[in-house]
Structure 1
Amino acid sequence: MKFKNYLFDLYPEYPIGFNLEIRKDPEQYSKQLYDDIEKIFFSKEKLESLKFNSIKNKCQNFGHGDFYTLFIDDGKYRLSSDYIGASVYWAKQAGLSDEDIVEYLMISRTIGGHIVFPRGQGTTVNKARGGDKAYYDRFDLTLLAIKKWYLNDDSKINYAIENYRDWFALFESFDKFVSFFGLEGFIYDESIIDLVSSDLEKGLIIPLKREDIYIPSQKEEYRRYFNNSNKIIKDRTEKLDLI
């Protein structure tokens, strides 16, 4: 079964014009991605469950190119898409080939590889979790930080979550946040799955118990991380595509 791929849809003549180094970012350029996020995660029933009245996908331009944003209740909350797959940058640092990375992106850039976070009130969760100063864009560590916030515990990006506490408070608990965004695949036996240490293809599931900030630097270890992430994303895409 073929699902929409928001990265390669931006390149109708793919592979012509596609370059990993200067690829277009669906979080900025893909109207289809934002339309699908609106449809899947913010149906009328889901909006009402959060006591919202409206949502609209708008294209904005602040002098450095167009980008899309979801406006809830005329801007009470502004939501930007965030890619939750394994980082391409760190994959290249670990020595994976462009061909391997493109094959991975064929799955990770479907709907299951995306979520939304609010912006407009200081450093966002999206920005805080990136790079070698935080979580290397690892989504398992991001989920652990969000879980810690709901439990009134601290994490390295707690300040960014606090910037948007009104948003996260809407979901009341970590379990409800996970359910709302269809993130159950990242959870096993009430624990977040460690995407680096686990080997899901072999049925080995390691729970992420603490904020152990690490990114694989060896090719095969990063490939396993890629595969773990993609397995969950593929399952999530199949589930969300039915909505």
Structure 2
Amino acid sequence: MGESDRQEIDTSFDVRSDTPPGKDPDSHSATLRRYHRLLWSKPLPSGRPFELVETRRGAYLHHDSELGEFFLASDSVIPSYKGWALAASVLDRLDEGELEAFRDVGYTIGGCVVFPGIQIERKQTINGARGMHPRIADRMDLTLECVRRFYAGDLDTPLGSTLQRYADFFALFGTFEGYVDFFLLQDLVDEQTGDVRFFLPFGGFGAPAVPQDVDAYRSYRDYSVAFVEARNARIDAWARQALDQGGPGALPF
């Protein structure tokens, strides 16, 4: 990545702003796709290069080498739950401006990740399973806990079988720590224990993932915003210095 490319990444850019009306930024924002390509085209923890291209017809981002062939897709991972029936009774009690301010932060690059985007055995992708499972409800903290347990050999999570279908992708990063560092997710993990930092109190996957009252929603929102802002700062530091370590400190929770 050249210096001019790094400077193209604006972590304050709202990826909805170059998305056609009524379309999903994850698939239709050209800026978001370019940012993903620039950020994640870099050496893997093994030191081997992982180059992504936008030129493969029908693919969002594509990699093909002796490592394997990978089709990646973007996913916005900080849901505001606007439009979700399960959250309607809570969101109806919030001011629209309060909700939109949250959405503005969530639609920056810090609120987006990439996962394998091609179906295997006609089953759900990771993106699809994250959104459809009520015990995940699109939340990145809960998704990352499933990923952490997957690397530890535990498939007994809401996403366990889905992640297993894409084991070759996760193998690229070697370990959970390698995965976290590669995608600049350090601010969602306790650096002392290696545990995931949750946006709401977590006692297992038995509880609903969607906040159940206004106080819980605001707590979820505040921790989500703190994570996105910290990750944006980390992304900005990496993009400017070509480093994926030594960025801003961990989140204050």
Using the alignment, how far apart are the partners of 1:56 and 1:47 within structure 2? 20
Q: Helix, strand or coil: the match of 1:238?
A: helix
1:213 deviates by: 3.6
Using the alignment, how far apart are the partners of 1:227 and 1:55 within structure 2? 33
Structure 2 counterpart of 1:222, one-letter code: Y
Q: Is residue 2:237 matched to residue 1:233?
A: no
Structure 2 gap segments, 5+ residues each: 1-9, 240-253
Structure 1 counterpart of 2:200, one-letter code: V
Using the alignment, how far apart are the partners of 1:146 and 1:179 within structure 2? 13
Equivalent in the alignment of 1:187: 189
Measured on the aligned residues, the alpha-carbon RMSD in Å equals: 2.5
Equivalent in the alignment of 2:101: 103
1:234 deviates by: 0.7
Using the alignment, how far apart are the partners of 1:230 and 1:83 within structure 2? 13
- After superposition, the C-alpha distances for 1:103-159 in whole angstroms (9 at most, x for unaligned) are 112211111101100022232111111145341111111111111111111211111
Structure 2 counterpart of 1:231, one-letter code: A
Q: Helix, strand or coil: the match of 2:74?
A: strand
Q: Show the 5 A alignment for 1:1-243.
A: 3-10=12-19, 23-43=22-42, 45-46=43-44, 49-52=47-50, 54-58=51-55, 69-73=60-64, 76-89=69-82, 90=84, 92-95=88-91, 96-120=94-118, 121=120, 122-131=123-132, 133-153=134-154, 154-188=156-190, 189=192, 190-197=194-201, 208=202, 210-214=204-208, 215-242=210-237, 243=239
Q: Helix, strand or coil: the match of 1:191?
A: coil
Structure 1 gap segments, 5+ residues each: 12-16, 18-22, 62-67, 198-207
Report the TM-score when normalising by structure 2. Answer: 0.76
Question: How many equivalent residue pairs?
Answer: 215
Using the alignment, how far apart are the partners of 1:209 and 1:180 within structure 2? 28
Using the alignment, how far apart are the partners of 2:174 and 2:200 within structure 1? 29
Structure 1 counterpart of 2:31, one-letter code: Q
Report the TM-score when normalising by structure 1. Answer: 0.79
Equivalent in the alignment of 1:200: none
Using the alignment, how far apart are the partners of 1:148 and 1:93 within structure 2? 33
Q: Is the 8 A contact 1:88 1:101 kept in 2?
A: no
Q: Helix, strand or coil: the match of 2:60?
A: strand
Distance 1:223 1:46, change over 3 A: same
1:86 deviates by: 2.8
Structure 1 counterpart of 2:195, one-letter code: S
Using the alignment, how far apart are the partners of 1:55 and 1:157 within structure 2? 25
1:93 deviates by: 4.5
Distance 1:59 1:101, change over 3 A: farther
Answer with 124-133 or 136-145: which moved more: 124-133
Structure 2 counterpart of 1:211, one-letter code: F
Q: Is the 8 A contact 1:123 1:163 kept in 2?
A: no
Q: Is the 8 A contact 1:186 1:232 kept in 2?
A: yes
**What percentage of residue pairs aligned between the two structures are identical?**
26
Structure 2 counterpart of 1:70, one-letter code: L
- After superposition, the C-alpha distances for 1:40-72 in whole angstroms (9 at most, x for unaligned) are 1213x45983454x42114866xxxxxx60011
